[in-house]
Amino acid sequence: MLYPTPIAKLIESYTKLPGIGIKTATRLAFYTIGMEEDVVNEFAKNLLAAKRDLAYCQICGNLAEEETCAICQDQTRDLSTILVVEDSRDVSAMENIQEYHGLYHVLHGLISPMNGVGPDDINLKSLLTRLMDNEVTEVIIATNATADGEATSMYISRVLKPAGIKVTRLARGLAVGSDIEYTDEVTLLRAIENRTEL
């Protein structure tokens, strides 16, 4: 016997999510049946609403409920700086530290020569357009410290530097709380190169 159709279908839907295999999907589906009815209704409603009501900001590519996102609409932000990130979660991580007050640009991916992802496959062209007609003086590249992140970072800096725009990237060094003994060699190398005066 297989499961009754309604639960079999729900299991199938759960397996479409990343990192959720058939065993976990089955556990989640059975758990769902045991949940309060209004919680499940709310879940279904939120699924539809998230897909329907969210779009990407036409200026920066960040998640937005309207044509442009809350940050691009905010008149108090510093218009002279754009921080370039891979996705909206990075915007959120950056906003959480409440230190950066400029604008963002969300690439929706990274240049990845190994996976055949080139500059035209990510949201990069619109960054160049943004730089042409406004007062941006610095672009801060905040891509992940991985091979793809580095490749993207190098590409952007090479394109922007000839245009006379200051391009910086996040510092490389020891993560706070980390042990020197267990730090990988490349990180240690960067930490020595970029040492700061006390």
At its nearest, how many Å lie between a copy of itself and the CB of residue 8? Answer: 9
Compute the CA torsion angle 121, 161, 146, 63 (nearest 10 deg): -50
Binding residues among 61-80 for a copy of itself as defined by CB under 8 A: 63-65, 69-71
Contacts 24+ apart (CB under 8 A), 152-158: 152/86, 152/107, 152/110, 152/111, 152/122, 155/111, 155/119, 156/84, 156/124, 156/127
Binding mask 127-166 for a copy of itself (x = CB under 8 A): ----------------------------------------
In the range 14-33, which residues lie near a copy of itself by CB under 8 A? 16-19, 24, 26-33
Which region, judged by CB under 8 A, interacts with a copy of itself, from 9-17, 124-132, 157-165, 181-189? 9-17
Q: Does 46 help bind a copy of itself (rule: CB under 8 A)?
A: yes
Backbone φ and ψ for 193, nearest 5 degrees, come out as -55, -45
How far is residue 30's CA from residue 11's CA, in Å, rounded to a whole number?
9
> Site residues (CB under 8 A) for a copy of itself?
1-7, 9-10, 12-13, 16-19, 24, 26-33, 35, 37, 39-54, 63-65, 69-71, 87-89, 91-92, 95
